[in-house]
Copies of this chain bind each other. A is one copy, B any other.
């Protein structure tokens, strides 16, 4: 799974019905590349999350028929952007 930061919601009036009413988010990875993911967890802009890709992205939703290849899997606690580590974990090790 990759680590990305939430940038903003994504507004698509014309979108595929297979996406149903899922919320879409624009995410930025650590190299600056933008991605679009389905967000079942209500992550806010600025949050650091990890994302699940490929066929597992569909498993992440209760309805397997949802059309997605990238889904937010969890919100990371206390991510230290600069050092690429969790602040707490870094202290605990």
Q: Which residues of B contact A2 (CB under 8 A)?
A: 35-36
Q: How far is the CA of A89 from the CA of B45 in the complex (A)?
A: 11
| Contact between B67 and A59, CB atoms less than 8 A apart | yes
Q: Which one of A18, A19, A30, A53 has the greatest number of beta carbons of chain B within 10 Å? A: A18
A residues engaging B (CB < 8 A)?
Answer: 1-3, 7-16, 18-19, 24, 26, 30, 33-37, 40-41, 45, 50, 52-60, 65, 67-78, 84-86, 88-90, 93
Number of chain copies forming the complex: 5
Which of B10, B16, B50, B67 meets A41, CB within 8 Å? B16
Q: How far is the CA of A59 from the CA of B60 in the complex (A)?
A: 16
* Shortest distance between the CB of A17 and any CB in chain B (Å): 10
